[in-house]
Structure 1
């Protein structure tokens, strides 16, 4: 996670091009949270969003939580998050003078272990969106979270990984299914498989934990502290671009330009580390584009693509 804390990381690009969880997901989360409340009423009082970044996954919590704290290790992320508060609250129809959300710099581990920040047994919901794979000590994290949560409170972590192009429009060459497979092969080459490209520059073991749908994280859940364990994952494919049985996991961007797809790829921490190490800032805009276009016959200006992400979530409840 240290990559996102570096001064050269473009937080506004991160905020603009990263996918946003759909309202259907937050509906499922709010329903789970509600079941843990004695009065079965929403909104609940307090939530903490760990690893909040620029607040992409933080603001929707205000729809069913009165007060939300966003926490991130990166000062640049928090600066961007704070700069967006008036705009985001206005978009949600919330008075900006109503201080229902704050963003603070700090590590998740130190925050949940510090009595100076939040009292024990005072939090209704703790979330960790797209960051749980970076945490250093899962046993400590779960125990510390259990101390902060009220009885019946929810700990929820959710994530996405590796978008699949499931459809396209515009110029191409060959059979559709073959083209989509070739496009994914080129992506995997640049993202992981070629030792001379981005693959060796991911921070580990975090990236591998994420690629394995956070199975390592789930294996540390203490059953003596938490109950009602709900785990759901979805793996995208060209033949099954949207799972009918898991619509809340349907994280996608439709009919976007190839330029937008490239801009998302450039937000990868692995790519940022690759640039710093090699000085090659044009790997994606030049080399990746050339191989992608050669393999598919797509046109950088005319082709539109549909992206669907592999994704998953885990919800657990404090006993």
Structure 2
């Protein structure tokens, strides 16, 4: 017999450390593709790096990597690596000298930037022929179908009005973002995890829409969702799959 589900407040009352614990990591094939696309692997910068999900993986392929994020809390919980330096700074004012990096990435973060100023910084810090990559992962798919259907009702209907407008850019895979660079084709990739219910709800606790639901006093939405997922999910690991979308160009 399954235990009773915890309350929504237990699941979703999290702090910034949740990003390091619950945000899914990218497949190593992503960093390998970006390293092969760059003119060399001397130095990369990951802008809006958060807690370093992509940053520390790039360090397996680059001699030196800088992770940049405006949030001191995110930087304070970033994943360490011997070849990574984390710096608290905005995307529009990168702490790098001119013509110093061969790869500039922004993973799940470009929709928050002032793009015109960010692109000016990209052109300033990039060596000739450097690669810029805007990476995002979309709405996850779950299995079995009844679990996925309940999740999609939660995402597309129950909390849809609590997302900031920028979320639409993530859902479209950044297809609608201005991208004034010579664009290159990219391979299809996915993030594929097998999670139990606590993993999945921990991930949802990092969503800005969930924070807004809490702030609006709509615990009833979260309580009903947790209850339903507990009944469908069961005490086992389930596949959770996110499509990876990229805009890759040459500076």
| Pair in the same fold by TM > 0.5 | yes
Please name the residue that 2:15 is paired with: 10
Task: Check the 8 A contact 2:14/2:205 in 1, yes or no.
Answer: no
Task: Check the 8 A contact 2:32/2:61 in 1, yes or no.
Answer: no
Work out which of the residue numbers 144, 163, 173 in structure 1 matches 2:140.
163
Work out which of the residue numbers 221, 245, 250 in structure 1 matches 2:179.
221
Please name the residue that 1:259 is paired with: 198
Is residue 246 of structure 2 the alignment partner of residue 313 of structure 1?
yes
Deviation for aligned residue 1:20 = 0.6
Please name the residue that 2:232 is paired with: 298
Task: Check the 8 A contact 2:75/2:88 in 1, yes or no.
Answer: yes
**Matches of 1:230 and 1:139, distance apart in 2:** 23
Deviation for aligned residue 1:279 = 6.3
Deviation for aligned residue 1:292 = 3.6
1:221-245 deviation line (CA, Å, top 9, x unaligned): 22xxx3252345xxxxxxxxxxxxx
1:174-194 deviation line (CA, Å, top 9, x unaligned): xxxxxx1x3333222222313
Is residue 63 of structure 2 the alignment partner of residue 63 of structure 1?
no
**Matches of 2:96 and 2:214, distance apart in 1:** 39
What secondary structure is seen at the aligned counterpart in 2 of 1:110?
coil
Is residue 12 of structure 2 the alignment partner of residue 48 of structure 1?
no
**Matches of 2:183 and 2:136, distance apart in 1:** 20
Tell me the TM-score normalized by structure 2.
0.86
Please name the residue that 2:117 is paired with: 140
Deviation for aligned residue 1:23 = 1.2
Task: Check the 8 A contact 1:166/1:308 in 2, yes or no.
Answer: no
Stretches of structure 1 that go unaligned for 5 or more consecutive residues are: 1-7, 38-43, 95-99, 112-116, 168-179, 233-245
Deviation for aligned residue 1:299 = 5.1
Is residue 99 of structure 2 the alignment partner of residue 121 of structure 1?
yes
Stretches of structure 2 that go unaligned for 5 or more consecutive residues are: 1-12
What secondary structure is seen at the aligned counterpart in 2 of 1:108?
coil
Deviation for aligned residue 1:298 = 2.4
Distance change (3 Å), C-alpha of 1:299 and 1:187: closer
Is residue 43 of structure 2 the alignment partner of residue 103 of structure 1?
no
Q: CA RMSD in A?
A: 2.2
Work out which of the residue numbers 198, 208, 212 in structure 1 matches 2:172.
212
**Matches of 1:229 and 1:146, distance apart in 2:** 17
Number of residues of Structure 1 aligned to a counterpart in Structure 2: 239
Task: Check the 8 A contact 1:266/1:272 in 2, yes or no.
Answer: yes
Deviation for aligned residue 1:122 = 1.7
What secondary structure is seen at the aligned counterpart in 2 of 1:216?
coil
Deviation for aligned residue 1:9 = 5.9
Deviation for aligned residue 1:50 = 0.5
What secondary structure is seen at the aligned counterpart in 2 of 1:162?
coil
Task: Check the 8 A contact 1:11/1:54 in 2, yes or no.
Answer: no
Task: Check the 8 A contact 2:174/2:247 in 1, yes or no.
Answer: no
Which consecutive aligned stretches of 4+ in structure 1 deviate over 4 angstroms post-superposition? Answer: none
Deviation for aligned residue 1:74 = 1.2
